[in-house]
Amino acid sequence: MRFLATVALAALTAGCTTSETATTSPAGSPALAGADTCAAVSASMLGAANASGKWVPGANGLPSFCEVTGTLSPVPGSTIGVVYRLPASWNGKVLGIGGGGWAGNITIQAASEGLKKGYATFQTNAGHDSTNVWDTSWAANPEAAKDFAWRGIHEMTVAGKKLVEAYYDQPHRRAYFQGCSTGGRMALMSAQRFPADYDAISAGAPVYTLQVQTSAVLRNQTFAKNNGGFTAEDLALAKSSALASCDAADGLKDGLIADPRQCNWDPATIQCSGAKNATCLAPAQVTALRTVYDGVRTPDGQWGMFPMSRGGETGWSLFVGTNGAGTDPSGGGGLRGLLPLIFGNQPIDLATMTLANVQTLRGSAFAAMYEAKNPDLSAFFGRGGKLILWHGENDPGPSPVGTNDYVRAVLAKNNAAPQSMRYFTLPGVEHCRGGPGADEVEWLDALDSWKESGTAPEVLVGTKADGSLTRPHCAWPTVAHYKGTGDANDPKSWQCVARAAS
């Protein structure tokens, strides 16, 4: 069905896809052609249970756009809320946006970058309305669980492409997806399960298996064991000691460890010889640190608890119960609410969860549906798809070690991977953002440039929002090394060198 058969062509020709000035009236009055076209959006356009369009005049740096909301119900029991934002001046490309935690993301904040750059943006609640990122109660509905695990993003994308073609009276030219954390898992799921949905994908800090959640549980247990908890001051002591040992390995002391897996600092070097004081760590604390630095594997050789990075200690408490209480703000990364779904009536306590329980969880039907661990991307790469993965080295949630493992698996499985995938590790960056590292990178521009030019990015420049830090991020397996002279905030003062095997 063509959208607005009698109205749209004239309205769109009048200016909805030309300049913003041509589609808006003086301040205080509604947009003309754009508003009329937007108001005519119908549920049938999306194949949705409901849909409506609202014209939003440009403000606060954003262009004018049509905001289309609706509900997709591909099967009974599925209610996928979607929001599409269609800018007055469109660049011919669409951008899918991932969620965070155990939630989708329909916020204007998430769409702002794409809208400013002329993209039509696609967003979804991923099948449930809860915005509490640790809430998993909705998963008791099996269709909601499927929507979040794999179906929601795909349905959002298919419907969005149809909407865009009808609204602008022409098909999209490029389709990109970007997300971090849960959004990174959604990105990988798209590449694995629906390889034709997107032309290029950015997956940051992907929570792509339940090992992220089991890591949170086992880390809490580690710090609770034998009074191995830490105060903020203890964590700062560990961090400063690790930095003193490893910071300069990249040629510059700047508060960042470029490759934490090459840092072998042993916390026993600051173990107290007598009573605990501010300048040393108790034996139980040393044991806890060694355990979280090394990680823990299950009997079948898989990670039960991913390692944590030396140099990132002061950022751990956001996701980990470092105080030794045995709990964390996330409830084991949201795992608590999933226990009845996975274990049924078997009583499982996060405080005493065993490695055998971890193996059962990883082998569950829920894990098989939810995890985006398949390294076979041949269908995605085969149609020209491009994949950028990235991870902050100081991430206290999903570990960069897990993303490293996935990258290696993709390289081993796909001959096209060296030409079609790039991976960047960001020193000092925490979960998706934050930490002392250069956490702001133009991932969307990198995707677009790669797809349009055919030249893969080998170095991407990161900055801090306040302008205090600029660093080049080198494509894995290389890492940035300071040349020894020049302004450290000038990327030309750095070079990409081979990193040691890890």
pLDDT for the residue 46: 81
Please state the length of the chain: 502
> What percentage of residues in the chain have a pLDDT greater than 90?
85
Q: Which residues of 267-292 are buried (b: 16+ CB within 10 A; e: fewer)?
A: beebbeeeeeeeebbbebbbbbbebb
pLDDT at 24: 34
Quick one: pLDDT at residue 502? 65
Distances (CA, A) of 160 to 72, 152, 175: 11, 12, 11
H-assigned helices in 202-347: 211-224, 232-246, 283-294, 339-343
Residues of the chain with pLDDT under 50: 1-33
3 state DSSP class of 85: strand
What is residue 426's DSSP assignment? E
Which domains, from first to last, does the chain contain? 8-207+370-425 (3.40.50.1820), 212-357 (no CATH)
Structure tokens given for 403:
């993303």
Question: Which pLDDT belongs to residue 256?
Answer: 98
If you search the block for the tokens 């034709």, which residue do you land on?
196
The DSSP code for 92 is: S
- From 463, 334, 392, 360, select the one nearest 206 (Cα to Cα): 392
**Closest residue by Cα to residue 278 from 328, 220, 238:** 238
Residue 257: predicted pLDDT? 98
**For position 9, what pLDDT does the model report?**
22
Q: For 153-204, write each residue's pLDDT tens digit.
A: 999 999 999 999 888 888 999 999 999 999 999 999 999 999 999 999 999 9
Question: Both ends of the chain: CA-CA distance in Å?
Answer: 55
Measure Cα distances from 408 to 61, 67, 373, 433 in Å: 41, 40, 12, 24
Give the closest residue to 323 by CA, choosing from 227, 240, 239, 430.
227
Identity at 247, one-letter amino acid code:
D
Q: CA gyration radius for the chain?
A: 24
* Euclidean distance between CA atoms 331 and 30, whole angstroms: 47
